[in-house]
């Protein structure tokens, strides 16, 4: 069952404001702390979060976001040291989960101090690889240890090309999530069109097998 979270997002830049929007779309309550007045107004115009205008690394500002009454604090400014300071300050003020954005590969010791790290450049690298290697297979998401969400383009001579989903047998541990134009969830009547791109969830031990069926 869904539970509504109250989340403080420090930093209303591109990452912070997008995070706020996604959270609000899922029904969570968001407070954004942003020091640049113009930026704050832009975020305010979106009407997805309350905005505190000020520098979140100043305790008097951070306190206004009311960490004591919140479930999670995400420090997402573009400065790693600032984010770390915000997280530790928030933990002093309240018993709160903290998530920080790192600008370099996350330090091994962070888990001792914060509950989660976000490394946008790491995610960026994955997108870069997807764009660079146009092999017809794109990683969308690493879900957990053994599961990956990938987008696969059906090769013209692949074994499953042109077949309906109920005519073929995909290996256990794989699932067609959406059909070619990404508008429908895959079902028995989904046709695997050659040249179409499909979102597929795969467990790593059958990834090879799935690629073989879909790429040939």
Partner 1 sequence: MSYSGDRSPAASLGLLDATMVGIGAMIGAGIFVLTGLAVETAGAAAILAFALNGGVTTFTALSYGELASAIPRNGGGYAYVREAFSAPVAFVMGWTRWFTYIVAGALYALGFAANFVEFIEIYGVHLPGPPVAYALASVVVLVALNAVSTEASGGAETVVTLVKLAILGVFIAFGLTAAGVGEFDPFFPSGGAVSLLPAMGLTFIAFQGYDLIATVTEEVENPRKNIPRAILLSVLVTVVVYLLVVFVAIGTLGVPGLAGAGETAIAQAAEGFMPTFPVIGTGAALIAFGAVFSTISALNAVVIGSSRVAFAMGRERQLPAQLGRLHARFGTPFVAVLASAAVMLLAVVVVPIRTVGNLASLFSLLGFVVVNLAVIRIRRQQPNLERPFEIPYYPLPPILGIVCNLLLGLFIDPITWLLALGWLALGGGVYLLLRGREREPTPTEPEIAEPDVTIPPETD
Binding site for partner 1 (CB under 8 A): 1-4, 18, 21, 24-25, 29, 40-41, 44-54, 61, 64-66
Write down the least CB distance from residue 172 to partner 1, Å: 29
Which residue, 48 or 99, is less far from partner 1 as judged by CB?
48
Helices (DSSP H) in the chain: which residue ranges? 14-25, 37-46, 59-64, 80-93, 120-132, 204-215
- Residue 157: CA atoms inside 13 Å, Cβ hemisphere, count? 1
Which residue, 52 or 211, is less far from partner 1 as judged by CB?
52
Which residue, 21 or 163, is less far from partner 1 as judged by CB?
21
Per the structure block, which two tokens stand in for 54? 């000020």
Write down the least CB distance from residue 145 to partner 1, Å: 26
Which residue, 4 or 204, is less far from partner 1 as judged by CB?
4
Which residue, 56 or 207, is less far from partner 1 as judged by CB?
56
Per the structure block, which two tokens stand in for 75? 């420090």
Using CA atoms, how far apart are residues 54 and 197, in angstroms rounded to an integer?
45
Sorted by sequence, the CB contacts under 8 Å of residue 214 that are 6+ apart come out as 152, 154, 155, 158, 160, 192, 198, 200
Write down the least CB distance from residue 159 to partner 1, Å: 29
- Residue 14: CA atoms inside 13 Å, Cβ hemisphere, count? 2
Write down the least CB distance from residue 50 to partner 1, Å: 5
Per the structure block, which two tokens stand in for 92? 């002093």
SS3 of residue 87 by DSSP: helix
Which residue, 44 or 212, is less far from partner 1 as judged by CB?
44
Is 51 within 8 Å of 62 (Cβ atoms)?
no
Per the structure block, which two tokens stand in for 42? 């832009």
Write down the least CB distance from residue 51 to partner 1, Å: 4
Write down the least CB distance from residue 61 to partner 1, Å: 6
């Amino acid at each position: 069952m869904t539970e509504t979270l109250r989340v403080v997002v420090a930093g209303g830049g591109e990452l912070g404001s997008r995070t706020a929007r996604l959270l609000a779309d899922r029904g969570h309550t968001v407070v954004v702390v942003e020091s640049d007045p113009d930026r704050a107004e832009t975020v305010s115009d979106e009407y997805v979060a309350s905005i505190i205008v000020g520098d979140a690394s100043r305790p008097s500002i951070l306190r206004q976001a009311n960490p004591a009454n919140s479930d999670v604090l995400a420090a997402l400014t573009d400065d790693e040291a600032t984010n770390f300071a915000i997280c530790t300050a928030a933990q002093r003020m309240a018993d709160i989960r903290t998530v920080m954005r790192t600008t370099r590969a996350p330090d091994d010791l962070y888990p001792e101090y914060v509950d989660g790290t976000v490394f946008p450049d790491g995610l960026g690298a994955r997108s870069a690889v997807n764009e660079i290697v146009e092999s017809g297979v794109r990683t969308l998401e690493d879900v957990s240890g053994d599961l990956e969400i990938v987008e696969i383009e059906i090769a013209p001579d692949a074994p499953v090309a042109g077949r309906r989903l109920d005519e073929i047998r995909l290996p256990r541990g794989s699932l067609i999530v959406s059909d070619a134009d990404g508008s429908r969830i895959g079902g028995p009547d989904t046709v695997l069109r050659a040249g179409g791109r499909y979102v597929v969830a795969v467990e790593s031990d059958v990834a090879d097998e799935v690629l073989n069926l879909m790429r040939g």
